[in-house]
């Protein structure tokens, strides 16, 4: 038996044995991750491809079942195993708040909401639940967690960041221990660790400084000195590496004008050599194509710069032929040394051996029951209630509005976000940019949650955008208004004004101008609310809670108390941005760490 096929040999011996048998062509194939749409018809066998991925919203069929996913993955795996050396492939997907591309999966709150919980142990349990749901579909690799430190809420990825504070971000890297398993005490620092077939490969991203770009413009330039980079944006990587994170993804952004995908100093010099990271470094989607401006202007240069910087695996969804040709030419003409190729392949194979995929290459149906599992939905509901941040409670402290009474004659629920699961979940849900409506998701809207929670005799009227006359003439005891942002992801979410989209402000004014109201803001970041704050009795930052809206009702009606704390500063006006805790001109509407608390009540019948 060849040593690399012997599970009793050490990982290092297996890796070295396999590398010694590989041709340049086979090595370059391992360095590629291609999109599923371009991976069929024997492509993996022909080019020795090491990995396949789903881009945002790329699925085998509409409303595909766990079994559909497994069948697709196993077809790809057969292809990979039919090569000369039989090196298995693994499959990657964006499971950034649960297995969010997959129909019927549990959708957890986005990271900004988890940051508000200040509960790393909860986040670890979410990691473990996500790993099970991902493995339920046969997939072994997730591009999570995002350990960005968002310093400007105008950035379209701000909701993927746990906090503006690097310490909170560090604490939340507990997600990795949930995804991959707890790293044993005797493991040397920097070694990737995956604890078996109920766990997945994690990925800390986006290395490094993605949350610090000028004006929060996605993929742009972070202009800070090295000390600031190390103090603000690097700590999340220290924690991730110490927890055995298997992969790290490079950022599209630049640091002081140098593209991270071409930054040898930070990728090889600092991450690999100084921090001793032993897993593999992966590019972002078409990341090397963006080294040049315009996109793909010089492919030879882009491959040379990316490989030389120290990137090991390349997300080249479509134009993999060109990558293979360019890299082969660069190695044969000695622009790139064979030692750099061997470093890349060694790291990729180390992760493959570590995860046990040589022994268990095929997915089976034994875990399909974990997709949308009831206990995971309960966990998501717990995360929702712990993530709610109470910003205002009553026109005066002596007269709090929350918790709301369950038994009253009639209440109004209003707003664009009260009955829309897609809006509740935000971007990276079903599709890359997210969706609207309740058709392609399983879960509980906030409206349904309210109806589930109030007394059976309480009448709940839902009117999305009521006029003043309707509000005044109906004798409502109080109103719950749910408004906020429409879903977005990445650069599509960059936003320079951060106002509540219409008709949200009108809904707030019409309702809260007439009757007692609580406003719940569903958003990926703080929004402009200062003009309305005086009008509103109570305000809740609801973030992007995901599929389990019952968690919102849990705290509104006092079954549980409010405990969430702001993971980022709530500004008065966008003219103040960027403004983060500790800045000399710090003058927030609500400061970092703010959050009122309430006590759970047994039952409130009148008010």
* Residues tagged active-site: 284, 490
Q: How many alpha carbons fall within 13 Å on the CB side of residue 224?
A: 20
Contact (Cβ atoms closer than 8 angstroms) between residue 11 and residue 346: no
Residues 6 or more apart in contact with residue 113 via CB below 8 angstroms: 383, 384, 387, 543, 544, 545
Cα 119 from chain centre: 17
Contact (Cβ atoms closer than 8 angstroms) between residue 175 and residue 97: no
* Of 152, 116, 148, nearest in space to 576 by CA: 152
Q: In the sheet where 478-484 sits, what is the strand order?
A: 389-393, 538-543, 517-522, 478-484, 410-414, 459-463
Q: How far apart are CA 159 and CA 171, in angstroms?
A: 17
Q: How far apart are CA 116 and CA 590, in angstroms?
A: 14
Query: Which residue stretches of 137-260 are H helix?
Result: 166-172, 174-180, 226-228, 235-242
Contact (Cβ atoms closer than 8 angstroms) between residue 519 and residue 540: yes
Contact (Cβ atoms closer than 8 angstroms) between residue 21 and residue 38: no
Residues 6 or more apart in contact with residue 439 via CB below 8 angstroms: none
Three-state SS string over 391-453 comes to: EEECCCCCCCCCCCCCCCCEEEEECCCCCCHHHHHCCCECECCCCCCCCCCCCECHHHHHHHH
For 125, the token pair is 């349990």
């Amino acid at each position: 038996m060849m040593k690399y096929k012997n599970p009793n040999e050490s990982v290092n011996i297996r890796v070295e044995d396999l590398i010694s048998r590989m041709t340049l062509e086979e090595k370059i194939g391992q360095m590629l991750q291609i999109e599923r749409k371009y991976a069929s018809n024997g492509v993996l066998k022909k080019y020795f491809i090491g990995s396949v991925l789903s881009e945002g919203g790329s699925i085998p069929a509409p409303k595909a079942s766990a079994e559909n996913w497994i069948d697709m993955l196993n077809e790809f795996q057969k292809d990979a195993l039919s090569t000369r050396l039989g090196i298995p492939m693994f499959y990657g997907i964006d499971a950034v708040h649960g297995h969010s591309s997959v129909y019927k999966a549990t959708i957890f709150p986005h990271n900004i909401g988890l940051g508000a919980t200040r509960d790393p142990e909860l986040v670890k349990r979410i990691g473990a639940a996500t790993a099970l749901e991902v493995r339920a579909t046969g997939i072994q690799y997730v591009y999570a967690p995002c350990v960005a430190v968002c310093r400007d809420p105008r950035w379209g990825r701000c909701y993927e960041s746990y906090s503006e504070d690097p310490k909170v971000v560090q604490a939340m890297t507990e997600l990795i221990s949930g995804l991959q398993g707890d790293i044993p005490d005797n493991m040397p620092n920097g070694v990737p660790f995956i604890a078996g077939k109920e766990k997945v490969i994690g990925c800390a991203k986006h290395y490094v400084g993605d949350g610090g770009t000028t004006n929060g413009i996605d993929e742009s330039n972070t202009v800070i000195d090295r000390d600031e980079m190390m103090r603000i944006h690097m700590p999340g990587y220290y924690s991730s590496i110490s927890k055995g994170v298997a992969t790290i993804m490079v950022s599209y952004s630049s640091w002081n004008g140098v593209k991270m995908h071409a930054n040898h100093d930070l990728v090889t010099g600092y991450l690999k050599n100084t921090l001793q990271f032993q897993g593999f470094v992966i590019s972002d989607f078409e990341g090397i194509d963006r080294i040049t401006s315009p996109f793909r202007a010089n492919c030879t240069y882009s491959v040379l710069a990316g490989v030389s910087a120290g990137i090991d695996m390349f997300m080249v969804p479509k134009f993999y032929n060109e990558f293979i040709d360019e890299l082969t030419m660069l190695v044969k003409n000695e622009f790139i040394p064979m030692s750099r190729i061997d470093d890349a392949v060694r790291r990729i194979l180390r992760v493959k051996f570590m995860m046990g995929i040589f022994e268990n290459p095929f997915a089976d149906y034994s875990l399909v029951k974990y997709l949308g599992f009831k206990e995971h939905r309960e966990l998501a509901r717990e995360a929702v209630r712990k993530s709610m941040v109470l910003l205002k409670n009553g026109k005066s402290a002596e007269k709090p509005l929350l918790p709301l009474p369950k038994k009253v004659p009639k209440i109004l629920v209003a707003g664009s976000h009260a009955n829309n699961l897609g809006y509740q979940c935000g971007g990276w849900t079903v599709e890359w940019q997210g969706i609207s409506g309740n058709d392609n998701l399983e879960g509980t809207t906030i409206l349904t949650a309210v109806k589930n929670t109030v007394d059976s005799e309480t009448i709940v009227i839902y009117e999305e955008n009521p006029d003043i006359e309707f509000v005044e003439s109906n004798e409502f005891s109080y109103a719950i208004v749910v408004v906020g942002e429409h879903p977005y992801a990445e650069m599509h979410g960059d936003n320079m004004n951060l106002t509540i989209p219409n008709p949200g402000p009108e809904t707030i004014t019409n309702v809260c101008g007439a009757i007692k109201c609580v406003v719940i803001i569903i958003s990926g970041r703080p929004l402009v609310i200062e003009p309305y704050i005086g009008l509103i009795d109570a305000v809740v930052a609801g973030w992007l809670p995901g599929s389990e809206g019952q968690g919102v009702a849990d705290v509104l009606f006092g079954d549980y108390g409010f405990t969430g704390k702001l993971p980022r500063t709530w500004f008065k006006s966008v003219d103040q941005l960027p403004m983060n805790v500790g800045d000399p001109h710090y003058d927030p509407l609500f400061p970092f760490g703010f959050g009122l608390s309430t006590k759970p009540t047994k039952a409130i019948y009148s008010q």
